[in-house]
């Protein structure tokens, strides 16, 4: 699964798609460090990978991403 996810991310980035990643409950996986590294590598920029510790933090994460997208749109 990680290999397919990484390949999909690479394909999206190669196509010019800006990839944001949200990893929820990554600490509950068999290898949290590897999962976080894979997901961070999937993002177009390491700062575009988010790892909220609880579902209640998702609104804040989506708000942050929306602000980044709005700033990007205004800049272009």
Distance of CA 60 to the CA centre of its chain: 14
Q: Is 1 helix (H, G, I), strand (E, B) or coil?
A: coil
- What is the reported pTM? 0.84
Confidence (pLDDT) at 74: 61
Confidence (pLDDT) at 13: 96
The mean pLDDT of the chain is: 92
3-state secondary structure string across 13-70: HHCCCCCCEECCCHHHCCCHHHHHHHHHHHCCCHHHEECCCCHHHHHHHHHHHHHHHH
Name the residue range of residue 54's domain. 2-75
pLDDT in tens, 18-52: 999 999 999 999 999 999 999 999 999 999 999 99
Structure tokens at 20: 């944001």
pLDDT in tens, 47-71: 999 999 999 999 999 999 999 888 8
């Amino acid at each position: 699964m990680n290999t397919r996810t990484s390949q999909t991310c690479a394909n999206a980035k190669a196509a010019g798609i800006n990839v944001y990643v949200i990893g929820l409950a990554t600490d509950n996986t068999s290898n949290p460090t590897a999962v976080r590294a894979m997901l961070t590598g999937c993002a177009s920029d390491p700062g575009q990978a988010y790892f909220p510790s609880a579902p209640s933090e998702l609104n804040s994460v989506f708000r942050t991403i929306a602000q980044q997208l709005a700033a990007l749109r205004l800049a272009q």
